[in-house]
Chain A
Amino acid sequence: MLNSMILSYITFIYFFSFLFYLLMMVMGKEGFGRVATFVTLMGFAGQTFAIALRWIESYQLGIGHAPLSNLYESLIFFAWTIILLYLVVEWRTKNRTIGAFATPLAFLAMAYASYSPGISSRIQPLVPALKSNWLIAHVITCFFGYAAFGLAFGLSVMFLLKKIDRPKRNSFFLKIIPESSLLDELSYQMVVIGFLLLTLGIITGSVWAHSAWGSYWSWDPKETWSLITWLVYAALLHSRMVRGWRGNKLAAFCIVGFCCVLFTYFGVNYLAGLHSYAQS
């Protein structure tokens, strides 16, 4: 179908974005960064068009629904939210170095969706359990939350890399990474946004579960892991109030938190249950 073909090309556009951001950091020329931003914007516009097209194509097939219903569609949407959030952050902070750490996440998600043999890009009809308005609210809030945590993860990696930068070292790559306090502050802001969105995601999921299955919380692996993720980030937010918990410990926490996000998204499919994408 046209939409999945476009999306498979967008994968490479994001790869080129990543290359240009990386070139900017290694060669130290802002020009590469401007190209990178341009390429990313083009990719984002194309991806938005493809997603809208997929939505329309589903109606043409008579099984119209928002493109958020299976693993393929959620991966595409995840990449879209990461790029959108990154572009907003780039615009507000005027800083392009974060691009080298954000675009690979989007590229990997798109590559997995488009080229993994186990994932079908066909538009599939909605089974009765998915026919609900809560689907859109739940998926959107969850994935924007995941994207914010993904950016916090990228920022934490940058923070730890910066730590190995010494005045004697002449690595332009490390020098161009913004200073630690900015990374720390930005990472915290991303965690705050992600936490609010994840809370909304869990809430919309619970309300939906209650109307579909009669129980707003049944401790199934996906629900439980989303709670585990929530608890880890709640601990992170509290830890900023404890002295001595800035910097390295926080960055490590963000990385662990994002691993929980990844397990909540992908890992639980290997654990069976009501939520498993593996069944579709």
Chain B
Amino acid sequence: MTDRGRQGGVQSFSLWGAFTSIKLTLFLLLLVAVTSIFGTVIPQQEGALELAEKLSPGLFRFLSSLQLFDMYRSLWFRLIIGALAVNLIVCSLDRFPSSLQRFRSVPKADREGLFQNLAPERSFPVKTQIEPAREVVEQVLKSKYRKLETKDGDRGTFFFGEKGRYTYFGVYLVHFSVLLILLGGIVGSLFGFEAFVNIPEGDGVSKVTLRKSRISKSLPFTVRCEKFSVEFYPNGAPKEYRSDLAFIKDGKTAFHGPLRVNHPITFEGITFYQSSYGSIPGDKVRLSLKKQGTEENLSLEADMGKPFPLPGREGEAVVTDARSDFMKMGPAVHIQIRPTAGEEVHFWVFKNEKMIKQRFPGIFERFPKLNPGSFKPYVFSLENMDSRYYTGLQVSRDPGVILVWAGFLTIVIGLFVTFFLFHRMVWVRLSEGKKGVVVAVAGMGNKNPVGLERELDSVARELRKKLDGAPS
């Protein structure tokens, strides 16, 4: 099996042998733990950009090349975990044969040696005769231990019951579970994807953006956000986010339902999660036009992209763009005028005109593109802008997650079997003494000696009760 020969004091090294070492396990477990600490104090991924501004470019490049800013996906971190997995596999393979042997070797029922020097609670005379006593012992032991072996000898009748022989394999189940979880992670990162998408209310999308690479990915269907609603508590904290989504395939709505935080929707193997939201300018804009030199003030509602005639028939105007925050000066709309005579004029109209005039005096005069009065004789002002919600969704597919869930289930079972279930072997001897029948109880176990003693006490007590109280 292992090749660790000694030749004149020199121990030959074998790679397999090195990986069977538990000391290596200790080292690797603690190495993963300590290196993981770095990833929590060094900003990772997006957070690193802030740090980049504070460090010199050379230092940042150097640290970046060590993959310190995406540590958990770095090659060296994965190698350490890989080494731990190999160590786990090798240790298990190395120790499994001896566990199997222990599982297979059934002890003899008539082990005389165990019954030497027993305490009086474990070795006591009873009033019952040997034949009925035998039946009682069999019945009591069978009810506690499924496996029961009986052997008649010249020193008496021996009974052997045991349970939990399988618990030797608990530790292998735990280790297998760890491998299963790691495998699930690998499968997920190789064959799955994580993306996000923002869908304005009323719109549908069939492309999402991958989180890591920012590349666009097509979906085999369209997702439409029919409505988005957000509710708040009286103290201002969010109460609920809810997107009513419709999934459209081949022109028909295949499924629709509400998406809430903690209640994702899966469609054709791709899962959607409610992540965030925001608002964007809507379709309608309320403008007012003032004619210079008059008191005329016309208020009208314009649809985005739909031209409307100017009141004096000087031409057509159309709102081509709307922003909730243009050039950090607040809401603004872009107006294009097509006069009946003359060239096209276009300019932006801000909502907070007064505030802008105060902060940047003369700005409208200097930049005709920002001047709401660029098309004489009209001065436009923006009274109101509709806004729409957009819903921010996480989109992902993870074919490995089922392996991870299986690993979670088996690790809990494995831990329970390893630490809370025990292999117990109980021997009872019925012998004919000078004063009558004597019952002796002895046992062995692999863990938890206190528990073993308690169990033997309970068997002895029950036997005593049933045999001393039973008719002879």
Give the distance in Å from the alpha carbon of A18 to the alpha carbon of B66 in the complex: 50
In this assembly, does B241 line the interface, its C-beta being within 8 Å of a C-beta of chain A? yes
Q: How far is the CB of A181 from chain B (nearest CB, A)?
A: 12
Give the distance in Å from the alpha carbon of A276 to the alpha carbon of B182 in the complex: 27
| Closest residue on chain B to residue A203 by CB atoms | B408
Shortest beta-carbon contacts, A-B, top 5: A128-B261, A231-B33, A235-B29, A214-B394, A221-B40
Stretch at the interface among B20-28, B200-208, B214-222: B20-28
In this assembly, does A55 line the interface, its C-beta being within 8 Å of a C-beta of chain B? no
Q: Which chain A residues in 192-208 approach chain B with CB under 8 Å? A: 192, 195-196, 199-200, 203, 206-208
Give the distance in Å from the alpha carbon of A216 to the alpha carbon of B22 in the complex: 29
In this assembly, does A132 line the interface, its C-beta being within 8 Å of a C-beta of chain B? yes
9 contacts between A and B (CB under 8 A): A124-B237, A125-B239, A128-B241, A200-B412, A203-B411, A212-B273, A215-B394, A216-B404, A242-B26
Q: Does the CB pair B262–A128 fall under 8 Å?
A: yes
Give the distance in Å from the alpha carbon of A200 to the alpha carbon of B23 in the complex: 26
Contact of A203 among B262, B412, B420 (CB under 8 A): B412
Which residues of the other chain, B, contact A200 by a CB distance below 8 angstroms? 412
- Contacts A125-B233, A128-B240, A216-B404 hold; do A211 and B33 have CB atoms under 8 A apart? no
- Contacts A125-B233, A217-B185, A219-B72 hold; do A228 and B405 have CB atoms under 8 A apart? no
| Closest residue on chain A to residue B397 by CB atoms | A214
Q: Does the CB pair A199–B415 fall under 8 Å?
A: yes
Give the distance in Å from the alpha carbon of A192 to the alpha carbon of B421 in the complex: 13
Q: How far is the CB of B452 from chain A (nearest CB, A)?
A: 14
Which residues of the other chain, A, contact B40 by a CB distance below 8 angstroms? 221, 224-225, 268, 271
Q: How far is the CB of A205 from chain B (nearest CB, A)?
A: 11
Give the distance in Å from the alpha carbon of A129 to the alpha carbon of B261 in the complex: 6
Knowing that A131-B261, A195-B415 are A-B contacts, what are 4 other residue pairs whose CB atoms are under 8 Å apart, sorted by A's residue number? A127-B238, A213-B273, A214-B194, A235-B26
Chain B residues within 8 Å of A, Cβ to Cβ: 22-23, 25-26, 29-30, 32-33, 36-37, 39-41, 44, 72, 185, 194, 233, 235, 237-241, 260-264, 271, 273-275, 394-396, 401, 404-405, 408, 411-412, 415-416, 419-420
Contact of A242 among B22, B240, B415 (CB under 8 A): B22
Q: Does the CB pair B264–A63 fall under 8 Å?
A: no
Q: Does the CB pair B412–A238 fall under 8 Å?
A: no
Q: Does the CB pair B419–A192 fall under 8 Å?
A: yes
- Contacts A125-B233, A196-B419, A217-B185 hold; do A224 and B36 have CB atoms under 8 A apart? yes
Q: Does the CB pair A211–B36 fall under 8 Å?
A: no
Which residues of the other chain, B, contact A56 by a CB distance below 8 angstroms? none
Q: How far is the CB of A1 from chain B (nearest CB, A)?
A: 15
- Contacts A125-B233, A213-B394 hold; do A227 and B36 have CB atoms under 8 A apart? yes
Give the distance in Å from the alpha carbon of A195 to the alpha carbon of B37 in the complex: 20
Give the distance in Å from the alpha carbon of A162 to the alpha carbon of B56 in the complex: 53
| Closest residue on chain B to residue A260 by CB atoms | B33
Q: How far is the CB of A133 from chain B (nearest CB, A)?
A: 9
Q: How far is the CB of B230 from chain A (nearest CB, A)?
A: 9
Give the distance in Å from the alpha carbon of A200 to the alpha carbon of B39 in the complex: 24
Interface centre among B29, B194, B411 (most CB of A within 10 A): B29
Which residues of the other chain, B, contact A212 by a CB distance below 8 angstroms? 261-262, 273
Q: Which chain A residues in 120-156 approach chain B with CB under 8 Å? A: 124-125, 127-129, 131-132
Q: How far is the CB of A215 from chain B (nearest CB, A)?
A: 7
Chain A residues within 8 Å of B, Cβ to Cβ: 63, 124-125, 127-129, 131-132, 192, 195-196, 199-200, 203, 206-208, 210-217, 219, 221, 224-225, 227-228, 231-232, 234-235, 238-239, 241-242, 268, 271
Which residues of the other chain, A, contact B264 by a CB distance below 8 angstroms? 211, 214
Contact of A206 among B41, B271, B408 (CB under 8 A): B408
Give the distance in Å from the alpha carbon of A208 to the alpha carbon of B263 in the complex: 10
Q: Does the CB pair A214–B396 fall under 8 Å?
A: yes
Interface centre among B25, B237, B262, B405 (most CB of A within 10 A): B262
Contact of A215 among B29, B32, B240, B396 (CB under 8 A): B396
| Closest residue on chain A to residue B275 by CB atoms | A213
Give the distance in Å from the alpha carbon of A268 to the alpha carbon of B36 in the complex: 13
Give the distance in Å from the alpha carbon of A153 to the alpha carbon of B469 in the complex: 49
Give the distance in Å from the alpha carbon of A131 to the alpha carbon of B231 in the complex: 14
Q: Does the CB pair B30–A235 fall under 8 Å?
A: yes
Q: How far is the CB of B399 from chain A (nearest CB, A)?
A: 13
Q: How far is the CB of A232 from chain B (nearest CB, A)?
A: 6
Which residues of the other chain, B, contact A235 by a CB distance below 8 angstroms? 25-26, 29-30, 33
| Closest residue on chain A to residue B178 by CB atoms | A234
Which residues of the other chain, B, contact A238 by a CB distance below 8 angstroms? 22, 25-26, 29
Q: How far is the CB of A151 from chain B (nearest CB, A)?
A: 16
Q: Does the CB pair B416–A196 fall under 8 Å?
A: yes
Which residues of the other chain, A, contact B23 by a CB distance below 8 angstroms? 242
Which residues of the other chain, B, contact A239 by a CB distance below 8 angstroms? 26
Which residues of the other chain, A, contact B237 by a CB distance below 8 angstroms? 124-125, 127
Q: Does the CB pair A214–B233 fall under 8 Å?
A: no
Q: Does the CB pair B261–A241 fall under 8 Å?
A: no
Q: Does the CB pair B30–A232 fall under 8 Å?
A: yes
Give the distance in Å from the alpha carbon of A247 to the alpha carbon of B443 in the complex: 28
Q: Does the CB pair B37–A228 fall under 8 Å?
A: yes
Give the distance in Å from the alpha carbon of A224 to the alpha carbon of B71 in the complex: 12
Q: How far is the CB of A207 from chain B (nearest CB, A)?
A: 7
Q: Does the CB pair A132–B401 fall under 8 Å?
A: no
Q: How far is the CB of A71 from chain B (nearest CB, A)?
A: 16
Q: How far is the CB of A208 from chain B (nearest CB, A)?
A: 8
| Closest residue on chain B to residue A235 by CB atoms | B29
Which residues of the other chain, A, contact B412 by a CB distance below 8 angstroms? 196, 199-200, 203
Give the distance in Å from the alpha carbon of A271 to the alpha carbon of B274 in the complex: 25
